[in-house]
């Protein structure tokens, strides 16, 4: 069951940011349109810093979990491998988390007085996604063709996200690109969960048959159904957050942003 938990944790990491962005970006555009004083942009900045810190923190937690948690040290997509081999798989995921951590640190530093070049945060996120994609491309699947198929599909989502984050370096704050990136992160998250269910079901058992061609067809379609779900979730969250703020009047937004601001302050001063 440990391999399922590892994949579920990875999925949760990506799903968390996907869902968060699906709420954050519509609010950002709304608050810009409705509430054009500097207060709105200031709490968005604070949220960005918090988000970067959360990314760095979760990445660090992921690295530590992959390496040190005992029942994770047996995480393996390849059954029947020697001990040294399994550790390499863990190191691979650590490398992946490391670059997401780096991306989080750069997100935080973007708002520091260091004045990094604008767009460096998106570039680092794109680099992290590319490196994740290349790691899965060059992974040794040890003739487990269903594993390889599952990760090939994942790689589509990863490189899709990388391409669209790279375009954000040049077209910053483009609503469509942010929508696209959000949907790709939700897709990645839910597909990691799916991989967990397929290769090592939480109720035990050997995972799906690696040789049945029907499984390949079904999972290919399943991947795109996941994407349909990701698109629907992104759209629903976008419409809901817009309705929540606009549908209840302009005054509500100030209250809402005030609440968020209090929340942010609470997080910043936990002793308050």
Q: Supply the minimum distance, in Å, between the C-beta of residue 272 and a second copy.
A: 33
CA 185 to chain centre: 5
Establish if 236 lies at the interface with a second copy (CB under 8 A).
no
Of 4-12, 45-53, 222-230, 260-268: span binding a second copy (CB under 8 A) = 222-230
Establish if 267 lies at the interface with a second copy (CB under 8 A).
no
Q: Supply the minimum distance, in Å, between the C-beta of residue 46 and a second copy.
A: 24
- Expressed in percent and rounded to 5, the helix, strand and coil fractions of the chain are 80, 0, 20
Contact 121, 155 (CB under 8 A): no
Of 65-73, 198-206, 215-223, 264-272: span binding a second copy (CB under 8 A) = 215-223
Candidates 69, 120, 144, 260: give the one binding a second copy (CB under 8 A). 120
Of 43-51, 54-62, 94-102, 252-260: span binding a second copy (CB under 8 A) = 94-102
Q: How far apart are CA 22 and CA 232, in angstroms?
A: 11
Candidates 206, 225, 248, 265: give the one binding a second copy (CB under 8 A). 225
Choose among 218, 166, 170: nearest CA to 194: 218
Q: What are the Cα distances from residue 13, in Å, to 82, 133, 204, 272? A: 28, 16, 24, 29
Which x/- pattern over 129-168 shows residues binding a second copy (rule: CB under 8 A)? --x--xx--xxx-x------x--xx--x------------
Q: Where do the DSSP E strands lie in 157-240?
A: none
Residues numbered 169-198 forming contacts with a second copy, rule: CB under 8 A? 169-171, 175-176, 179-180
End-to-end CA gap in the chain: 41
The token duo for 131 is 């490196």
The token duo for 13 is 């990491």
Q: How far apart are CA 144 and CA 137, in angstroms?
A: 14
Which residues here bind a second copy, judged by CB under 8 A? 84-85, 88-89, 91-92, 95, 98-99, 102, 114, 117, 119-120, 123-124, 127, 131, 134-135, 138-140, 142, 149, 152-153, 156, 169-171, 175-176, 179-180, 213-214, 216-218, 220-221, 224-225, 227-228, 231, 239
């Amino acid at each position: 069951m440990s391999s399922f938990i590892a994949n579920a944790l990875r999925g949760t990491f990506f799903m968390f940011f996907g869902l968060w962005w699906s709420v954050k970006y519509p609010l950002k555009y709304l608050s810009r349109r409705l509430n054009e004083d500097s207060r709105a942009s200031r709490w968005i900045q604070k949220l960005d810093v918090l988000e970067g810190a959360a990314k760095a923190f979760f990445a660090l937690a992921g690295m530590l979990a992959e390496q040190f948690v005992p029942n994770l040290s047996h995480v393996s997509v390849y059954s029947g491998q020697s001990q040294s081999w399994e550790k390499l798989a863990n190191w691979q995921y650590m490398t992946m988390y490391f670059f997401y951590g780096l991306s989080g640190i750069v997100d935080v530093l973007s708002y520091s007085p260091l004045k990094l070049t604008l767009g460096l945060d998106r570039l680092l996120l794109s680099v992290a996604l590319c490196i994740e994609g290349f790691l899965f491309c060059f992974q040794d699947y040890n003739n487990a063709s269903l594993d390889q198929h599952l990760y090939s599909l994942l790689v589509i989502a990863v490189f899709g996200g990388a391409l669209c984050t790279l375009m954000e370096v040049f077209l910053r704050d483009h609503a469509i690109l942010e929508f696209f990136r959000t949907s790709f992160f939700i897709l990645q998250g839910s597909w990691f969960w799916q991989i967990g269910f397929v290769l090592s079901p939480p109720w035990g058992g050997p995972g799906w048959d690696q040789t049945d061609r029907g499984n390949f067809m079904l999972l290919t379609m399943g991947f795109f159904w996941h994407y349909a779900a990701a698109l629907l979730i992104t759209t629903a969250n976008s419409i809901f957050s817009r309705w929540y703020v606009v549908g209840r009047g302009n005054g509500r937004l100030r209250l809402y942003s005030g609440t968020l601001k209090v929340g942010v302050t609470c997080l910043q001063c936990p002793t308050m």
